[in-house]
Amino acid sequence: MKAHRALLALAISTGLLSLAACGPANRTGDGTTGGGTENESADAFVARANETLKKMTPEFSSAAWLGATYINDDSQRVEAAANERWLTQLNAFIEQAKRYDGNGLSPETARSLLLIKTGASMPAPRDPARLNELSNLASELGGMYGAGKWCPPGKSGDDCMDIGEISEVLAATESSSYDEMRAAWEGWHTISIPMREKYQRFVELTNEGAREMGFANTGEVWRAGYDMPAEDFQAEADRLWGQVQPLYEQLQCYTRGKLEEKYGERGSVDGMIPAHLTGNLWQQDWSNLWPLLQPYEGVGSLDITGALQRQRDGILNELAARAGGFMRLTPAQQVELERKADIEMATRMTRLAESFYTGLGMPQLPESFWEKSMLVQPRDRDVVCHASAWPMDTVGEDVRIKMCIKPNEEELTTIYHELGHIYYYLAYHGQTPLFQNGAHDGFHEAIGDTIVLSMTPEYLASIGLVDKPAVSQEAVINSQMRMALSKVAFLPFGLMIDRWRWGVFDGSISPDRYNAAWWELKAKYQGVAPVEARGEDFFDAGAKYHVPGNTPYTRYFLSHVLQFQFYKALCDAAGHQGPLYTCNFADNAEAGRRYWAMMQRGASQPWQQTLKELTGGEQMDASAVLEYFAPLQEWLVQQNQGRTCGWAAAEAPAAAAPADAVDADAADADADAAPADAAPADDEADA
């Protein structure tokens, strides 16, 4: 999933400091652990909590940054210690917040107390030994993912493949063979096998912490953070899914039909799409199937990846010319020029995204952003390449992104998404630290994706990435299909991950059915399946970052609804006339003013009120999704005539032995890292 926010200590607290939760436990005098008394007023307590967060954010953010960008024993130790201090402090905050019953409090204080009590995505036990164990498990699980590599049979060491290399095999849907994609997909899913027992213990410990907070389990804590009763939230998500499900089912049917045309009977599994054939490790984004699914070949000339790669090659050729030509360069010098070209191209892509936001009247990114962000993958160490955005302090002076940017369309849109987080941080940094977050977590993910919706063919042509688009129905369908392969394909995936975790947390999914339940839910919601049974020796959920990274995922589903609501509201503000999908509000001052005003609210009021200020309504609604994709949905229905659409979400098949286990050296290295991303993301974005 693209786009995923950096959340200190592996998403310890989504309600505190949006992505960087900070502050230690209860030592009087220095703001690090306590300082309160039995008679401390609610106002004084909230003020102390805010001051603690403000003082400690840089330290803990830096620990998390090191854990993600310098994966080794030392960074894991530093981050784990920071995690433990924060968890201790968070427990102290929660315990004290429970003392106040809300009577006679100001709205600001009452809301601050609510956010403290519902903000822990990793509720920790009060017992110091168990808290220490949980903190170490969090770092270990994140590190196992970040350092994960698959070693193909007969390979070792430098020949082992990391997630980026494996993703490239899957993305090359035209040149990679069926068997190559299957081997790569199965290979990546070996990296999570060693996580299974650790994750089971992680669940036990967070559930213990949740019960001590007064909740039934960790999932209930997560659902309590949406300004509505926790028991109502799942029904709300189901309602939104019901609105968009028919559109997704038509897209799934069309895609499966094309895969069957290409691969014959290997192109589907009982009406479901084979898991390794969507061009994506988790089947959450089908954009890499564009060559196969393109409705009208060549119409619109939307080869964004080709344009970016040509720009990068042009940079390299220019650098080589300055050095006297490639023939005069040693292999080592050529490698250095390649590196410089990659850095320059990544910077250009990021500057391009920045220009959209500044065109709306938002400020330029601070110079420290360009000095401290990680835009390309380092060559000398392991890092978590999963894209993320980071607020390193509470005053808006140090914001960063962490990506391993490559010149392709998906990476470009991910940058636009991640800068949405960055500009949200900059917009609400004037709020108190407890209010420095999205109105709810789905808002944070939707900000940048709303901008992505405005990256219409006309916009892309205006910045020179595609030809001036032809005005035709075929061009419209092509454009909508490209968008649907990202946006619509993602919707059920955005829902099912937390459906699985909610079941794990409440015990309805027992440890001996972790994998079976995972594939049952993927079948039910996505209509995808593995080509062979995946037994309980596997832990396929752990092959998605947000599971070992403990990042709640429903936010990404909600964001895929909200972004269309935001987009429609901004298009109305810009005075757009015509079909919704044609709206490009780039450089529109009024749209920018209204968007910035909403973003400045942060978490200072219930999300329903913030939503109403921008859209006029207090309810999340997927009708804008359907309005946007109306031409494509009609076209898909026509294309699917005569096909048998739908699928049977059967029980998970019988167990099978795991694929070749991850290389032992790589498995050992897994425990050395401590990433601090929350999604995409991603994939992403995230999600």
Tell whether the torsion through CA atoms of 665, 667, 673 and 677 is positive or negative.
positive
**Residue where a domain terminates, one of 426, 442, 475:** 426
Q: Is residue 26 part of a domain?
A: no
What is this structure's pTM?
A: 0.85
The runs of H, that is alpha helices, within 390-440 are 409-428
State how far the Cα of 592 lies from the Cα of 362, in Å rounded to an integer: 7
pLDDT at 401: 97
Q: Is residue 562 part of a domain?
A: no
State the amino acid at position 118 in one-letter form: T
Q: Is residue 237 part of a domain?
A: no
State how far the Cα of 536 lies from the Cα of 519, in Å rounded to an integer: 11
State the amino acid at position 202 in one-letter form: F
* Under 8 Å between Cβ of 29 and 35: yes
Q: In 3-state terms, what secondary structure has residue 226?
A: coil
State how far the Cα of 554 lies from the Cα of 534, in Å rounded to an integer: 25
Beta-sheet pairing, 399-402 with 388-391: antiparallel
**Overall average pLDDT of the 577-596 stretch:** 97
Q: How many domains does one find in the chain?
A: 2
State how far the Cα of 68 lies from the Cα of 464, in Å rounded to an integer: 34
Closest CA relative to residue 457, chosen from 437, 438, 481, 435: 481
Alpha carbon separation from 219 to 86, 91, 118, 120 (Å, rounded): 21, 18, 11, 11
* Prior bond of 313 cis (ω within 30°): no
Q: Is residue 416 part of a domain?
A: yes
Q: Is residue 53 part of a domain?
A: yes
pLDDT at 372: 97
Backbone phi, psi, residue 18, to 5°: 40, -75
State how far the Cα of 148 lies from the Cα of 188, in Å rounded to an integer: 8
Three-class SS of 40-107: CCHHHHHHHHHHHHHHHHHHHHHHHHHHHHCCCHHHHHHHHHHHHHHHHHHHHHHHHHCCCCCCCCCH
**Overall average pLDDT of the 483-491 stretch:** 95
pLDDT at 467: 82
Using 50, 70 and 90 to split pLDDT, how confident is the model at 663? Answer: very low
Q: Which residues are annotated as a binding site for chloride?
A: 226, 555
Can you give the residue range of the structural domain that contains 81? 41-119
HSE-CB of 442 using CA atoms within 13 angstroms: 26
**Overall average pLDDT of the 436-465 stretch:** 94
pLDDT in tens, 205-231: 999 999 998 899 999 999 998 999 888
State how far the Cα of 19 lies from the Cα of 11, in Å rounded to an integer: 7
List residues with catalytic annotation: 418, 546
Backbone phi, psi, residue 274, to 5°: -60, 135
State how far the Cα of 341 lies from the Cα of 319, in Å rounded to an integer: 8
Q: Is residue 34 part of a domain?
A: no
State how far the Cα of 418 lies from the Cα of 518, in Å rounded to an integer: 28
19-33, 50-64, 119-133, range with the lowest pLDDT: 19-33
Q: Which residues pair with 528 in a beta bridge?
A: 273
pLDDT at 37: 64
Q: Which residues pair with 390 in a beta bridge?
A: 400
Q: Which residues are annotated as a binding site?
A: 226, 417, 421, 445, 555
HSE-CB of 611 using CA atoms within 13 angstroms: 24
- The structure tokens 């962490």 sit at 402
Sorted by sequence, the CB contacts under 8 Å of residue 42 that are 6+ apart come out as 100, 105, 109, 113
Q: What percent of the chain has pLDDT over 90?
A: 74
Residue 530 has pLDDT above 70, yes or no: yes
State how far the Cα of 200 lies from the Cα of 209, in Å rounded to an integer: 15
**Residue where a domain terminates, one of 411, 426, 441:** 426
Using 50, 70 and 90 to split pLDDT, how confident is the model at 35? Answer: low
Q: Is residue 259 part of a domain?
A: no
Residue 665 has pLDDT above 90, yes or no: no
pLDDT in tens, 8-23: 333 333 333 333 222 2
State how far the Cα of 81 lies from the Cα of 86, in Å rounded to an integer: 9
**Residue where a domain terminates, one of 119, 154, 169:** 119
Q: Is residue 308 part of a domain?
A: yes
pLDDT in tens, 102-116: 788 999 999 999 999
Q: Which residues are annotated as a binding site for Zn(2+)?
A: 417, 421, 445
State how far the Cα of 347 lies from the Cα of 516, in Å rounded to an integer: 43
Tell whether the torsion through CA atoms of 366, 368, 369 and 371 is positive or negative.
positive
